[in-house]
Structure 1
Amino acid sequence: MMSDPSLSDKQLSSIRSATARINLWHGAVRSGKTIASLLAFLLAIAVAPSSGLVIVVGRSLQTIERNVLDPLMDPAIFGRYAAAVQHTRGSNTATILGRTVHLIGAADARAEGRLRGLTACLAYVDEATLIPQEFWTQLLARLSVPGARLFATTNPDSPRHWLKLDYLDREGDLNMRSWHFRLGDNHTLEPDYIRSLHAEYVGLWRRRMIDGAWVIAEGAIYDMLDDERHIVTELPEITRWVSCGVDYGTTNDFVALLVGLGADRRLYVTAEYRHASRTAHHSLTDAEYDRALRSFLQQHRAAPDWLVVDPSAASFIEQLHRTGMANLAPAENSVTDGIRTVASLLSAGRLRIHASCEGLIREMTSYSWDPKASERGEDAPLKIDDHGPDALRYAIRTTEALWRPYVPTHLEVAA
C-alpha cells in the first residue's frame, strides 16, 4: 500500500509523518489530501490503543458515507484493504480492520453534546471547516487516551476562520502537523478533468478550491456578469422547463424566476414575476401570491419540472399544497454552494438572462459579500436587494441533478 506509485511524494510524506496529536490535510479539491489522510487513518486504526473509541466525524452521516466510507470500501482505491471495511448504509457505526468505528454527524453546535462522557483514542474529521468550533474543541478534549490522534481534512475557507487562526496559524505552539496540497500534487488527474475544474470554480472558489488559498470573500459576487455575454433579447427554443425559483416576501419583494434549458444546451432565465410591497404600497396574501404565480406560469405556457420555494416560507408552501400545486419542493438553501454554482455557469457562458428580467439583472450587478461577516470568518452576501439572486440560486442549485447532464461544464471558446 505504501509503495503505490500513484501516490505523490507529498502524500507519502504526510502519511509517514502523521504522528502528531492533530494532523491536518488542507488545500485544493481533488489534490490527493483525502486519500492520503484515509491511508494514514487506516494505519492508525491498525495500531490504535485498545482502550478508547475510534470516531469519524462529518457534517452528516450521509457526508461521512460519501466522503469517507465509500472511498475506503472501493477496491479500485484501497485494494484488498477495502474488504476490511464493513458498513450498512444508514448505520451510525462501521467496522474497520475489526475495530468498531462510531460515526457522528456534527451539523451545528448542539452536536457537541454527543461527545459528552466518552473517551476516544482516534478521530477522523471530514471537512473540518464545516464542523462547529465547539464540537472540535470538545472532540480534542475527549481524545484523552495516551497517544491519541486526530486526523482531519478541509478545503480552505476564510483566513479568519477559527481553524486557520487558532490552529494552522499556531501550529508551532501545538502538537500539530499540517500539509498543504495543490491540484498538481495529485498525479492521477486527467488534463480534461483539470480543465473542467478550472471552468467550474471561478473567483473566490477558484482561489480556494483550485489554488488552495485561504482568502477572504470580498467585493462583487457576480463580477463575471457581462451585458453582452449574459443578457439576451431573444430566446432559443426551450426544450425543457427546468424550474421556477421563488423567493417569498411580504414586506420584502416576492420574486419568481422561470428557468429553461435551451436547445443550445444553456440555461436561460426567461421571465421574472416580482411584487414589491414597498413600491406598490400594499402586501398580497398567500392566496393572492398563489394565483399570481399560477397566472405567471400560464402566461409563459410553462410547466416547470420543479417549483422551488424559499424553505422559510412555510405558510406559502402550505398554501400551494392545499391548492394542488404539482412538483413543489423546498429550496436547497446552502448559500455559498448555490452562489458558486450560479457563478460557475456564468463564467462558463452556460447561463443567460432575458433582458425583461430587469429586477434580477439590477440586483445581480450589486450583489456583494458582507465585509462584517468576512471579519467574523464567515462567507455571507449582504442582505440588501438579494431577492432575485436568492430565487436564482434556489432554481439552479436545487435542480442541479436534473440539468447537469445536459449542460456542458467546460468553458466556451466563444459565447
Structure 2
Amino acid sequence: MLDTLPLSRKQLRSVVQASARINLWHGAVRSGKTIASLLAWLLAVAEAPPSGLIIVVGRSLQTIERNVFEPLQDPALFGPVAAQVRHTRGATTAAVLGRTVHLIGAADARAEGRLRGLTASLAYVDELTLLPEAFFVQLLARLSVPGARALATTNPDSPRHWAKVGYLDRAHELDLRAWHFRLDDNPSLSPAYVAALAAEYVGLWRRRMIDGAWVVAEGAIYDMWDEQQHVVDELPAMRRYWVGCDYGTSNPFAALLLGLGNDDRLYVVGEWRHDARAAHRQLTDAQYSARLRAWLGEQGIVPEWTFVDPSAASFITQLWADGHPGVARANNDVLDGIRSTATALDSGLLRIHRSCAGLLGELPGYGWDAAASEKGEDRPLKRDDHSVDALRYAMHSTRHAWHHLLPRGGECGA
C-alpha cells in the first residue's frame, strides 16, 4: 500500500505514529488527512486483537459509504488491498481484511444508545466535529479491550467546539496524538486544482477549509460586501430565472428573483416584500400566492423553479394548488447556503439590482451570533434576515447550475 499511494512525509509519519488511544487527523479539505487515516486504520485492522468489535462511525450510513468505503474500495488508491474491502451499499456491516466491521450512523444524541453494551477494540470516526459529544464519550468508554484505539478525522470548526476544547487542547493530558494538515500537504493535488478550490472558499471558510484553522465565526457574515462593486443600475439580458422565498406572517415575507445573465453572471433582478407590521395587515397563503404570481406576471417572467422556505408547508401547498410552476422546498442548510452566497459575492459572480431595497438594507448588517459562537456554534443572528434568507434559498438551491461559472483563482470577468 505504501508503494501505491503518493504520500507526503507528514502523511507517512502520521500512519506510523498512530498508536495512541486517540489519533486525530484534522485540517483543510483535500489535504490528504483522510487517505493517511484510512491507511493507518487498515494497518490497525490487520493488527487488531480477535476480541472486541471493529467499528466505523459517521454522521450517517451514506456519509460512511462515501467518505470511507468508496476510497477503500478504489484500487487506484489502495491497490490489491481494495479487493479485501467488501461492503454492500445500505448494509450495516462490512468485511475488511477478513474482519467484520460494524457501521454506525450518529446523526443525533439518540445514537449513543447504539453503543451501549458493546466492547470494541478499534474505531474509525469520520468527521468527528459533526457527531454529538455524548456519542464520542460513550464510544471511548466502549474501547475497553487492551490496546484499543480510535482513529478520527475532521475538518476544523469553531475553536470552542467540544472536540477542540475537550480533546485537541488537552492532548498533553490525554493519550492522544494529532496531526494538522494544510492544503499544500497533499502531494497528489495539481496546482490548478488547488487554485480552483481556494477560489471556492472565502472568509471564515477559507481559514478553516484551506488553512485548516480552528477559527471563530465573528462579525459580518458577508464581510466581502461592497455596494460599489456588487450593486448595479442596469441589467443584461437573462437566459434563466429562479425565485427564492422566505415566508412570513407577522414577520416580513420576501421573494427574490435571481437571474443568470447572458454575460455569465448572476443577478438579483428584483424583490417583492410584504411587511405585515409596517402595513398593519397580515396576508393569507392564498393572498401571498396571488401577489407573488402577479408580481412575476407584471414582468412577464415564468421562473424555472420557485424555492420556498421548507418550513412553510401551507404556503407551498397553496402554490401547488394555484398551479404555480416549479415549486420546490429550498435547500435549507444554513451554513452551506451562506458559503455558496459568500463565494458568489466574493468572486464577483453575483450582482444585485439597486431596486432590491430590502436585501440591500439587510446585507451589511447580517452578522454572526456572538452568544452562539461562545458556545462553539456558528449561527447567524435572527434579525433583519428575511431577504438574505430568500437569497440563500435561491443561491444554494441553484448552486449546481452556476458552480461551473466560478473563476479559478481570480475575479469573475472584468
Q: Shared fold by TM > 0.5? A: yes
Between Structure 1 and Structure 2, how many residues are aligned?
A: 414
Q: Is the 8 A contact 2:195 2:408 kept in 1?
A: no
**1:324 paired residue number:** 323
1:271-282 equivalences in 2 (<5 Å): 271-282=270-281
Deviation at 1:342, TM superposition (A): 0.8
Deviation at 1:410, TM superposition (A): 4.2
Q: Is the 8 A contact 2:4 2:79 kept in 1?
A: no
Could you state the TM-score of these two structures normalised by the residue count of structure 1? 0.96
The CA RMSD over aligned residues, in Å, is: 1.6
Q: Is the 8 A contact 1:348 1:409 kept in 2?
A: no
The runs of 4+ residues in structure 1 deviating greater than 3 Å are 405-410
Deviation at 1:3, TM superposition (A): 4.0
Q: Is the 8 A contact 1:53 1:120 kept in 2?
A: yes
Question: Which SS does the other structure have where 1:173 is aligned?
Answer: coil
Question: Which SS does the other structure have where 1:102 is aligned?
Answer: strand
Q: Partner amino acid for 1:175?
A: D
Q: Partner amino acid for 1:22?
A: I
**1:109 paired residue number:** 109
Question: Which SS does the other structure have where 2:256 is aligned?
Answer: strand
* Change in 2 beyond 3 A, CA 1:414/1:261: closer
Q: Partner amino acid for 1:260?
A: G
Q: 1:109-134 CA deviation, whole Å, 9 max, x = no partner? A: 12222222222221111111111111
Q: Partner amino acid for 1:288?
A: Q
Structure 2: how far apart are the matches of 1:116 and 1:178?
A: 27
Q: Partner amino acid for 1:281?
A: H
Structure 2: how far apart are the matches of 1:163 and 1:5?
A: 29
Structure 1: how far apart are the matches of 2:288 and 2:64?
A: 40
Deviation at 1:183, TM superposition (A): 1.3
Deviation at 1:108, TM superposition (A): 1.5
* Change in 2 beyond 3 A, CA 1:186/1:407: closer
Q: Partner amino acid for 2:325?
A: A
Question: Which SS does the other structure have where 1:307 is aligned?
Answer: strand
Structure 1: how far apart are the matches of 2:23 and 2:70?
A: 22
Deviation at 1:264, TM superposition (A): 1.5
* Change in 2 beyond 3 A, CA 1:211/1:405: closer
> Mean alpha-carbon deviation: is it higher for 2-11 or for 257-266?
2-11
1:201-280 equivalences in 2 (<5 Å): 201-241=201-241, 243-280=242-279
**1:297 paired residue number:** 296
Gaps of 5+ in 1: none
**2:27 paired residue number:** 27
Q: Partner amino acid for 1:271?
A: G
Q: Partner amino acid for 1:194?
A: V
2:408 matches 1:370: no
**1:341 paired residue number:** 340
**2:54 paired residue number:** 54
> Mean alpha-carbon deviation: is it higher for 170-179 or for 113-122?
113-122
Structure 2: how far apart are the matches of 1:111 and 1:299?
A: 51
Deviation at 1:407, TM superposition (A): 4.7
* Change in 2 beyond 3 A, CA 1:42/1:301: farther
1:94-105 equivalences in 2 (<5 Å): 94-105=94-105
Q: Partner amino acid for 1:97?
A: L
Q: 1:245-278 CA deviation, whole Å, 9 max, x = no partner? A: 1111111111111112111212111111111111
Q: 1:315-368 CA deviation, whole Å, 9 max, x = no partner? A: 212222333333222122221111111111111111111111111111011101
Structure 2: how far apart are the matches of 1:309 and 1:61?
A: 28
State the percentage of identical aligned residues.
64
Structure 1: how far apart are the matches of 2:304 and 2:81?
A: 43
2:35 matches 1:41: no
2:158 matches 1:180: no
**2:359 paired residue number:** 360
**1:84 paired residue number:** 84
* Change in 2 beyond 3 A, CA 1:159/1:228: same
Question: Which SS does the other structure have where 1:50 is aligned?
Answer: coil
Could you state the TM-score of these two structures normalised by the residue count of structure 2? 0.96
Q: Is the 8 A contact 1:266 1:407 kept in 2?
A: no
Q: Is the 8 A contact 1:347 1:411 kept in 2?
A: no
Q: 1:191-234 CA deviation, whole Å, 9 max, x = no partner? A: 11111122111111111111111111101111111122211111
* Change in 2 beyond 3 A, CA 1:172/1:79: same
Q: Is the 8 A contact 1:265 1:407 kept in 2?
A: no
Structure 2: how far apart are the matches of 1:381 and 1:204?
A: 13
> Mean alpha-carbon deviation: is it higher for 162-171 or for 263-272?
263-272
**1:136 paired residue number:** 136
